[in-house]
Amino acid sequence: MLRVGLTGGIGAGKSEVSRLLVECGAVLVDADRVAREVVAPGTPGLAAVTEEFGPEVVAADGSLDRPRLGALVFTDPDRLARLNAIVHPLVRARSVELERAAGEDAIVVHDVPLLTENGLAPLYDLVVVVDAAPETQLDRLVRLRGMTEDDAKARMAAQATREQRRAIADIVIDNDVPLAELHRRVHEVWAELTARARRG
């Protein structure tokens, strides 16, 4: 099994790269999706979050009220650390389960937005960084996601810098290119990953 960490700044196009890698044959473990799954209604994760932060973080339909929880934790480093202490071990355990289910010959791509920020590079056989210029990221966030320019800049500033991400990369995929060129580059990277997997 080859374990690949995939990351990139917000608006860099990591989701498109992960989709293309899945088309090539990768098994995807999406950290954001797993993080939602482990606090779904009826899970021990949601029970632990409710016990820590109170019943007001649960919406009327029984799901986690993410905006309300976010308002509590993102301005309070201590509360954020307590939330992470609940959620991160659950995400890790579920990710390991999904990886084991993939089989010994699989190339497992872990899509981890905050891989750089959380110092997770050593967990993977190699790290692929999807890279785009900050002005490209800003344009995509405003034009495609409907963010205000100030909100987009704030989200970008809260993440690792482009230089920090590139410093941990084994492979960089430049996504300041037309879609056809991105497809070609991802297939090139896939060939490299399969060669590495064969070498063990």
The tens digit of pLDDT for each residue in 113-145 reads 889 998 999 999 999 999 999 999 999 999 999
Examine the domain organization and report whether 115 and 97 are in the same domain. Answer: no
| 178 domain residue, yes or no | yes
Examine the domain organization and report whether 43 and 128 are in the same domain. Answer: no
Q: pTM here?
A: 0.86
What three-state secondary structure class fits 7?
A: strand
Examine the domain organization and report whether 175 and 113 are in the same domain. Answer: yes
pLDDT of residue 151: 87
| Residue with tokens 């009220």, as numbered in its chain | 65
Buried b (16+ CB within 10 A) or exposed e, 71-103: ebbeeeeeeeeebeebbeebbeebbeebbeebe
Examine the domain organization and report whether 21 and 73 are in the same domain. Answer: no
Rounded to whole angstroms, the Cα distance separating 77 from 57 reads 18
CATH number at residue 194: 3.40.50.300
For residue 88, what are the domain limits? Answer: 37-103
Examine the domain organization and report whether 66 and 146 are in the same domain. Answer: no
| 31 domain residue, yes or no | no
What integer is the mean pLDDT of 169-196? 96
Examine the domain organization and report whether 149 and 198 are in the same domain. Answer: yes
| 32 domain residue, yes or no | no
**For a pLDDT cut of 90, what percent of the chain falls above it?**
82
What integer is the mean pLDDT of 85-114? 92
The count of domains in the chain is: 2
pLDDT of residue 76: 85
Examine the domain organization and report whether 111 and 98 are in the same domain. Answer: no
Vertex 112, ends 111 and 114: CA angle to 5°?
155
pLDDT of residue 72: 87
**For a pLDDT cut of 70, what percent of the chain falls above it?**
100
Q: Which of 103, 118, 139 is the last residue of a domain?
A: 103
DSSP string, 165-177: HHHH-SEEEE-SS
